Chain A
Amino acid sequence: MHTMTSEIDDKRMAQRRDEADLIARCIAGEPAAQEQLYRTHNRAVAANLYRVMGDNRDLDDLVQEVFVIAFRGLPKFRKEARLSTWIYRICVNVALGRIRTKTRKPPPILKADPVGEDRRSGVGLSPETPEALLVREENKQKVYRLLDKLTPKKRMVLYLHEIEGHDLKEISYLVDANPVTVRTRLYYARKEFYKLLAEENEDAI
């Protein structure tokens, strides 16, 4: 048991060393290191942004923005968190900025995409009808529509807590706010969001 724990610790230490080395090479401006960092985190960054925003319009621009900020900020990275967490924090802030400034665009035309949907949700083996898939997609869009009605800060805190499942301490790091503030914000956000959800027309959700 003890051997197994120490093996995990060793592995973790090695990962940290690799990460520190990668960061140092990125700061030195080594293109290969930057490429490696990008390739390691690009999908996670895109997935995070996709989940926060609810659609993939301008997603490539947002991914670019996150990495540009990350490369620019690497010299200031204090290693108080994992690199992935730090990049996730940048994602949150970029998304927050985007939500603040985004104009009210009409929602994308919904389409049933059984193959894509199955791939994403991992339910490829369950025989779902296109209608059921469409209803599920509509329900997700409605959640985003209700999230849109919250202020950006409340929306983000609610998203991180209710959808991503982060605790208050993690959220306070991600949104750079006091945990007490986060707790208050989350309280009002939940109250507002679930009230909206509960008041949706019966046939709407």
Chain B
Amino acid sequence: MKHIPAHRLADLVAGNWNSHSAAKAREHIKNCSHCLGAMKRIEVGRQAMGEIASADSPELGWDHIATRIYWSTSSERRASEREEPSAWRFGGRKILRNGFVAAGACCALVVAAYMGLYPSSADEAEQLAASPAVQVEADTSKGVSEPMLEPAKPVAENLQGVITFAGAEVVMNGAALDFDSLVRQGSRFSTGEGELVVQFGLHNSFRLAPQSTLWLQSFDSQSVVLDVVGRIDIDIEKRGAGQEFVVVAGEQRVVVHGTAFRVDFRETRLDVSCTRGKVVVSDGQEQVNVPAGQRFGIIDSEWQDVALRALPIRADRLALLDAEMAMPTLAVWNPGNPLESSSVLQVKSAGEQEVALDGIALASGDFLVRTSSGRHQIARVNSDGSVADGNWYDVEAGQQVSTSLAMSLPKAVDKSRRARAIRKRELKQAINARGKVSRCLAPLEKQGLMAGAYVDFEIGMNSDGTQRYLNIVGSNLSPVIQRCLRTAVSAETLAVGGSAEFSLHLAF
């Protein structure tokens, strides 16, 4: 006799069978050790479920939560009061089309108040008013106060940046990059295979990753607004009062006060990771705080489908991210003439050979790096991460020195091939372990249509274990199942390892 399905056993435990069928089933269970064991486990499980249903709320910091709710709602109210009447809707959310700078300033102000960075007297009064007991007192103090004089706005001075690193195929303002040109408001960059690092103060710099574009919408001492598509790493010192720093990524803004963080915005996906300080991601209506060591991501601008919270970054990934975000910058900064006392090293190393400057691994391929005048060592980085003995170069201010390093092409190929094989194996294991793929195929399996089904993926895996891209290049499955499979595979995040691009054939 067939065993009784588990969900039917659950019905039996719940008393949902008629007496005749129940008696027959119990007779079977008495003689079937499999069903008997299953029934016992279900009984215990259902008992536990009953206890769960009667669980009461744990004690929480109710007053603290109340204050946070008050602040969240009142911040929104203030923000909405500042909104222009021409607000429009996009993707089911109301956002402002015009004036990212103005909106960014409002947002920065709101965020600053929210973060408690600039507690104005009004904010303080509102904070006090969160408790009805002190509301009267706060109102009274407001009533007798004289009209506040608006403080004089500080004069915005244009910022100047210098390019401290540039890889291959970097384009500035539509033309080939002139490494000695200064970066100013309105500058536009696009990177091909190489990266770009710009420094605009002793402790302020950003790095534009390969295949990214950047427009410096605003670039002065009071407002820096960077419009980016692709990935950008930013490391800035704490902003002064009234200063804003905003990264515009599509319809989202990443507002920052002084921090190191990464914004990765490609097509419809935004990922913000923060390694130091705190940033706030906002679409004009919703906002999410991303403190140090956390990340926040959205896909298709669908804020409503995500829990509005940042998630912790795993310790190993955080360490890797921190290391990746280190940028080659000048140790001395002259605001009047930033190019003064710096020199340029041009390094040519064919293929993937990684090169170190003064003992620190910098990049691979051809690149230009700006450094202070003096003596510098350029060396190859071995496959185990150690730095080989290199050559010393004396460079004077304003001078450009070129060098080329020999490389071992076979080694690089081996490394890449090995990384591909490892990553492919890891991904397959991860997919099998989760069983999500089989869930996607359940309808087909039910109909007995599995034989011969296949899907071919093209995958780019980053060294931190996240996926750079994922494409389906061939399949005989329906689009719905393909989409499901793609979602299942894209959800996989591997351990830190090699960066690799590979194809994956899944046959069922």
Contacts and interface: CB of A to CB of B under 8 A. Distances in A.
B6 A64 contact: no
A34 B44 CA distance: 42
A63 B58 CA distance: 12
A46 B73 contact: no
A107 B22 CA distance: 38
B130 interface: yes
Given A50-B55, A68-B73, A31 B9 contact: no
A63 B65 contact: yes
Contacts of B61: 60
Contacts of A173: none
Contact of A197 (B42, B73, B308): B42
Interface in B45-97: 45, 47-49, 51-58, 60-62, 64-66, 68-70, 72-73, 76-77
Interface in A18-60: 29, 31-32, 34-35, 38-39, 42-44, 46-47, 50-51, 54, 56, 58-60
Nearest to B40: A202
Contact of B73 (A34, A59, A163): A34
A63 B52 contact: no
Nearest to B307: A97
Contact of B306 (A97, A190, A194, A200): A97
A46 B60 contact: yes
Interface of B is mostly: helix
A140 interface: yes
Contacts of B307: 65, 94, 97-98, 100-102
Contacts of A65: 307-309
B53 A122 contact: no
A198 B9 contact: yes
Nearest to B135: A31
Given A56-B58, A97-B306, A121-B54, A202 B41 contact: yes
Contacts of A142: 45, 48
Nearest to B46: A162
A47 B69 contact: no
Nearest to A99: B307
A143 B51 CA distance: 11
A190 B70 CA distance: 40
Interface residues of A, number: 62
Given A47-B55, A97-B306, A198-B9, A139 B72 contact: no
A136 B9 contact: no
A64 B69 contact: yes
Contacts of B395: none
Given A31-B135, A136-B48, A190-B10, A64 B65 contact: yes
A22 B74 CA distance: 18
A42 B51 contact: no
Given A71-B69, A200-B41, A163 B306 contact: no
Nearest to A162: B49
A190 B12 CA distance: 13
A156 B441 CA distance: 22
Given A101-B307, A200-B41, A64 B7 contact: no
Nearest to B62: A42
A35 B48 contact: no
A103 B65 contact: no
A190 B10 CA distance: 9
Contacts of A64: 65, 68-69, 72
B335 interface: no
B4 to A, nearest CB: 10
B37 interface: yes
A103 to B, nearest CB: 6
A84 to B, nearest CB: 14
A97 B305 contact: yes
A101 B302 CA distance: 13
Contacts of A205: 41, 44-45, 48
Contacts of A195: 5-7
B411 interface: no
Contacts of B326: none
B375 interface: no
- Max chain B Cβ within 10 angstroms of own Cβ: one of A32, A51, A142, A163: A163
A120 interface: yes
Contacts of A44: 57
Interface string B297-323: 000000001111101100000000000
Interface string A119-149: 1111000000000000010011011101000
B57 A101 contact: no
Contacts of A194: 5-7, 9-10, 42
Contact of A120 (B9, B49, B55, B306): B55
Interface of B: 5-7, 9-10, 37-39, 41-42, 44-45, 47-49, 51-58, 60-62, 64-66, 68-70, 72-73, 76-77, 129-130, 132, 135, 305-309, 311-312, 439
8 contacts: A31-B130, A61-B309, A67-B69, A101-B311, A136-B51, A139-B44, A139-B48, A198-B6
Top 4 closest A-B pairs, CB basis?
A: A198-B38, A47-B57, A194-B6, A198-B6
Interface of A: 29, 31-32, 34-35, 38-39, 42-44, 46-47, 50-51, 54, 56, 58-61, 63-65, 67-68, 71-72, 94, 97-98, 100-103, 119-122, 136, 139-140, 142-144, 146, 151, 162-165, 190-191, 193-195, 197-200, 202, 204-205
Given A50-B55, A98-B307, 18 more contacts: A31-B135, A34-B69, A47-B56, A47-B57, A60-B64, A60-B65, A63-B65, A67-B65, A97-B307, A101-B306, A101-B311, A120-B54, A120-B56, A121-B55, A139-B44, A163-B53, A195-B5, A198-B41
